[in-house]
């Protein structure tokens, strides 16, 4: 455990769970503590995209230290993620469904994941959303622009190709590295432009 606040991570049922799993893996390896919450839809996405159940993913991630992993139920509003008075850190929603984006914009906070995003916005803490859906309708773009105007960072899951990725994993790492850059976590997962 380190002195930095834990990094909050939210997984939604949007396609692209591999981004969220890899981010948690990288953060734990970098010695950062992680507070994780996920929506019910993740159970279906995990099986469809990764061939695993959520318990299997969490068991594997739980061995990735030196950082520690705490998992919270999406209805556990006693979690530090739910409070502005807790010594909270940044929150990353990856992958972030467009339905989640719309609910954050509306400020509904009916789940811990949505409340954690709301806390970041009201407390001016870093909030990063990583949408993966395409194409985007006008209302999706408007919601993303609204979040950006409110202080959130939108890191769309659009990998670069100048580093000539040879695998899906290398494309995932491109996005994970960009998120880590904005979290202030120093990792070198893919070659950088001009390096």
Q: Tell me, yes or no, whether 188 lies in a domain.
A: no
Residues of the chain with pLDDT under 50: 1
pLDDT (0 to 100) of residue 68: 95
Residue 113 counted as domain residue: yes
Q: How many domains does the chain have?
A: 1
pLDDT at 3: 79
Q: Which domain holds residue 166?
A: 7-183
Quote the pLDDT of residue 64: 77
What is the per-residue pLDDT across 160-188, written as a single tens digit (0 to 9) for each?
999 899 999 999 999 999 999 999 999 99
Burial class of residue 11 in the structure, from the number of CB atoms within 10 Å of its CB (0-12 exposed, 13-18 middle, 19+ buried):
buried
Residue 192 lies in a domain: no
**CA 118 to each of CA 25, 81, 171, 174: distance values in angstroms, whole numbers, following the listed order:** 25, 10, 30, 27
Residues 6+ apart with CB under 8 A from 143: 98, 101, 102, 105
pLDDT at 121: 97
- The CATH code of the domain that includes 128 is 3.40.50.1950
For residue 2, what pLDDT is reported?
A: 66
Q: Is residue 99 part of a domain?
A: yes
* Residue 118, in any domain of the structure: yes
| Residue-level pLDDT at 88 | 86
Angle between helices 17-29 and 54-61 (to 10 degrees): 20
């Amino acid at each position: 455990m380190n002195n930095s606040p834990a990094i909050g991570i939210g997984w939604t049922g949007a396609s692209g769970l591999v981004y969220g799993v890899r981010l948690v893996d990288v953060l734990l390896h970098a010695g950062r503590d992680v507070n994780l919450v996920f929506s019910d839809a993740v159970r279906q996405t995990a099986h469809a995209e990764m061939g695993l159940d959520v318990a299997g993913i969490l068991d594997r991630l739980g061995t990735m230290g030196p950082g520690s992993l705490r998992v919270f139920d999406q209805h556990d509003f006693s979690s530090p993620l739910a409070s502005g008075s807790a010594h909270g850190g940044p929150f990353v929603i990856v992958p972030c469904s467009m339905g989640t984006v719309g609910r954050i914009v509306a400020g509904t906070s009916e789940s811990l994941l949505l409340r954690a995003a709301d806390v970041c916005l009201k407390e001016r803490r870093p909030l990063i959303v990583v949408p993966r859906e395409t194409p985007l309708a006008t209302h999706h773009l408007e919601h993303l622009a609204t979040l950006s105007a409110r202080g959130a960072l939108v890191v769309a899951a659009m990998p670069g190709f100048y580093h000539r990725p040879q695998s899906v994993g290398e494309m995932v790492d491109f996005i994970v590295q960009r998120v880590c850059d904005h979290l202030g976590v120093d990792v070198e997962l893919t070659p950088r432009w001009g390096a």
